[in-house]
Amino acid sequence: MSENLEHKRLIWHCRRGMLELDVLLLPFCREVYLTLSTEDQAKFVDLVACEDPDLFGWFMQHNVSENPNHAYMVDMILKAGKITI
């Protein structure tokens, strides 16, 4: 499958049921994802497969994921958006 089609599918998958997550995930996916290393791209794909309540808690810094790859990507996304809680 072409990289462009995969990226479009990932953008669609970043559309969540919570506006707070859309505001974080969509711009990152559109503007930063393709510049990431293959390893970090895989970490991002794994992150967006998580449940919305988990993602919300991590991004709002109510808790931290036990998965270090998820915690790494959450930090990267927050920094990319220059968002501090």
Pick the CATH number of 3-80 from 3.40.640.10, 1.10.150.250, 3.20.20.70, 3.60.15.10: 1.10.150.250
Domain boundaries, the chain: 3-80
- Answer whether residue 84 shows pLDDT above 80: no
* pLDDT level of residue 1 (50, 70, 90 thresholds): low
**pLDDT for 81:** 80
DSSP label at residue 66: S
Helices (H), 32-67: 38-48, 52-59
What are the tens digits of pLDDT across the range 37-78?
A: 999 999 999 999 999 999 999 999 999 999 999 999 999 999
What 3-state DSSP class applies to 71? helix
